Structure 1
């Protein structure tokens, strides 16, 4: 089960980084558009991580990981994706002397 969560998190991280960098290249300097997918994925992860506590005993398993595991993987992917997108954004901007 842990292996499934790690694999899901790694795949989602790659998708988030590619999506963030792609939106960063396509958008103008003064917009926060590249960060919106990360915020949406993080919010989805929070909902998915708290959903098992609301549901109770009903365990839902998708591809070897429970809903809480998917939430953890989504939050991990969003955090790493946002960090890497912000680093690329910082280096893309011109240095003001």
Structure 2
């Protein structure tokens, strides 16, 4: 039973990763300006109001409140200036 569940989960993850890669390839080829947000571990902690934008992150040692991620994602629709100024 465990092997069947494991194989099904592996297949679902594989399909997700392939679809995500297809999106990245399409975005790069489109010529559009875009930002891919890949948050580290999400928490339910109180809003910090501060984010760090990095090219490479050590995910096991980082986390961010969900609300802070939501604020960053909503920002282009609610404000003129970005919530951070680091270009990576």
The answer to whether TM tops 0.5 is: no
Which has the greater radius of gyration? 2
Which structure has the highest helix share of the two? 1
User: TM-score normalised by the shorter chain: which range applies?
Assistant: 0.3 to 0.5
Tell me the TM-score normalised to structure 1 length. 0.32
